[in-house]
Amino acid sequence: MGAAARGGLPSGIRMDRARPAATLGSMEPASGTGPRGRAAGPIEPPRSILVRLPNWLGDVVMATGALCALKERYPEARLTALGRRAHAELLRGLPAIDAFVALDGGKGPAAIVRQGLRLRSAGFDLGVLLPNSFSSAAIFRVAGIRERIGYDLNFRGALLTRKIRPAMDGHRRIPTPMPEYYRRLLELVDAGEPSFPPRLAVGADDEVALARYLAAQPLPPGRGPLVLLNAGASFGPSKLWRSGRFAAVGDRLQAEQDARIVVLAGPGEEGLAAEIAGAMRRPHRAVIPELLRLGALKALVRRADLLVTTDTGPRHVAVALGRPVVVLMGSTDPRHTNYGLERTTLIRKDVDCSPCHLKTCPIDHRCMERITVEEVVAAARARLSAGGRSAAPE
């Protein structure tokens, strides 16, 4: 590995890495990109790979299988993830990642040039663009990355050296589970098979962070199942379910199952979490996001017996860690997240206006209003009765 590939990562955050002796699986040659893909012949094995991560928490989790597939295909290459600073802690301990570089703040041409020049000195020779934005491709072009692969969308095709078009219905992309969407992109560099499920690692640092938090903010007492309620959705209010109904679910599970209820909140959702906790009649604990970072969140989710959530990031954290989930979905298309459903119960109403993908419902929010407390409690009860613990993906 050359000097440029070994060092020079500006502001890089080295990941904890304990590469297991066993490989993740054997790779087969890609089956090709199809008539809508374009590649430039066989790829030269890269020495240094840069992967631009998605922006949303759930999408980052769904992309972890692709990271593992890349590392399996090119085990000698140094794999660096480029993403939001907070996601470094989420991905900490994942063996596929050798280093993490945080995105610069700012938007516009000046920010693109600044970020690209900052990356240029690292000498990356393969860049994988998981987001579909024009700006992400422009940064990789300024960075001088020799091979740049991504989906040919948003007028960025000229910036890519290897590209593929997603399946389209007119001007709309046909919904595909995001892990599969990312996997298909890797066929351009002979890394599309086999597929790996999303996975996360919970390390000693994560457990220590959770223990430190719980020393000051202990879990509710008792020996009943630990149930996490996650009502927020940073996407917009169209994904939300009434806080009073979440509180009623918590009360019912406490009364029926002696459940210990923890109300989660993401950044900006503190008021919503406090509203739910305040509406409950029995002891509870609201978790405040400034104190509970993503590493501690992973450790808490791994401990949980059940997560009841709207369609948001913690859902995917739970799936990646093999935990049971009840998901309340309204405005979004379930085909984008139709994976890992073995321990997931999806509650969704088939209304004529869904999926709309609007951030705010312009009418009566029927997709979420028609979800009742009784059916959520019944789904939670069934998941808790199933018992047992599913191992996180290896």
pLDDT in tens, 171-209: 889 999 999 999 999 999 999 887 899 999 999 999 999
**Which pLDDT score, from 0 to 100, does residue 34 have?**
36
Q: Residue 49: is its pLDDT beyond 80?
A: yes
144 part of a folded domain: yes
- Taking the C-alpha atoms of residue 126 and residue 162, their distance in angstroms, rounded to an integer, is 11
Instruction: Name the domain boundary from 122, 154, 189.
Output: 189
The radius of gyration of the chain from alpha carbons, rounded to an integer in Å, stands at 22
CB atoms near residue 150 (< 10 Å):
27
In the chain, the number of structural domains is 2
pLDDT category of residue 4 using cuts at 50, 70 and 90: very low
Considering the domain architecture, whether residues 66 and 141 belong to the same structural domain is answered as yes
Residue 96 domain-assigned? Answer: yes
Domain-located, residue 82: yes
Of the listed ranges 54-63, 93-102, 212-221, 336-345, the least confidently predicted one is: 212-221
Question: Nearest-CA neighbor of 352 among 336, 331, 375, 371?
Answer: 331
Judge if 183 and 222 occupy the same domain. Answer: no
Residue 76 has pLDDT above 60, yes or no: yes
Average pLDDT over residues 221-227: 91
Task: Say what the pLDDT of residue 32 is.
Answer: 35
Classified as helix, coil or strand, 78 is strand
pTM: 0.87
47 within a domain of the structure (yes/no): yes
pLDDT value of position 3: 36
Separation CA 156–CA 137 (nearest Å): 7
Distance CA 172, CA 75 (A): 36
Are 266 and 358 members of one domain? yes
- Residue 232 within a domain: yes
Whether 19 has a pLDDT exceeding 50, the answer reads: no
The Cα 94–Cα 210 span in angstroms is 18
Distance CA 337, CA 322 (A): 16
Q: Are 291 and 262 in contact (CB under 8 A)?
A: no
| Residue 383: closest CA among 348, 346, 350, 349 | 346
For residues 75-81, give the mean pLDDT.
Answer: 98
Mean pLDDT of the chain: 86
Residues 161 and 303 in one domain: no
Residue 221 domain boundaries: 212-386
Top mean pLDDT of 101-105, 124-128, 347-351, 361-365 is at 124-128
Do 242 and 374 belong to one domain? yes
* Same-domain check for residues 265 and 322: yes
Task: Quote the pLDDT of residue 365.
Answer: 85
Tokens 């570089």, residue located: 101
